[in-house]
Amino acid sequence: FQDVLANEGVTLSKDDYYARYLGYDDAGVFRLIGAQRDIAWSERHLADLIARKASRIETLEHDISILFPGASDALRHAAAAVPIAIASGALGHEIRRVLDREGLSPLFTAIVAAEDSPASKPAPDPYLRALARLASAVHGPLAASECVAVEDSVWGLESARAAGLRT
């Protein structure tokens, strides 16, 4: 986001990103930043910003793991015990690229990406969609209250709780 926005003459600090924008999907981040700075980006320009961000992130993560230490092991243990899913504001191809490179794709019963949900976090939509996909995959009812969400943002926690999950 910093690199793409710098080309637009907009500065975004790391602290500002984590405090204000982390939970949003790419479109939400760019829209919110534009609105807060009185910048009216067209839908076409917004799509270009998103594409440039996707290209930049792919370049940055090309030769390194972007997972937190211990994340792979934690995911493998969780998937061995229960079906797991992803409800993310990231684009589907970005999620799958990371999972494939890390050898984690087979662990996930369902993946909900930014383009799979009508509203992004903090709305409950991503988690509701993930619950529906999990229930379909396990061929039975699945109560949100029986599920746990692990999140990295306040907006993600709000989304999961609004969908009825524990966090």
pLDDT digits (tens, 9 = 90+) for 42-59: 999 999 999 999 899 888
Separation of alpha carbons 10 and 21, rounded Å? 15
Residues 143 and 134 sit within 8 Å (Cβ to Cβ) = no
Residue 23 predicted with pLDDT over 80: no
Quick check: 84 pLDDT over 90? yes
**Amino acid at site 38:** D
Rg of the Cα atoms in the chain: 17
Residues 86-102, mean pLDDT to the nearest whole number: 93
Q: Cα–Cα distances in Å, from 104 out to 13, 68, 72, 84, 93?
A: 31, 14, 7, 11, 14
State the first-to-last Cα distance of the chain, in angstroms, to the nearest integer: 27
The model's pTM is 0.78
Average of per-residue pLDDT values in the chain: 93
Q: For residue 156, which of 124, 133, 132, 131 has the smallest C-alpha distance?
A: 124
- pLDDT tens per residue across span 128-140: 999 999 999 988 8
Q: Region 71-90: what's the mean pLDDT?
A: 95
Identify the pLDDT of residue 73: 97
Tokens of 24: 């949003």
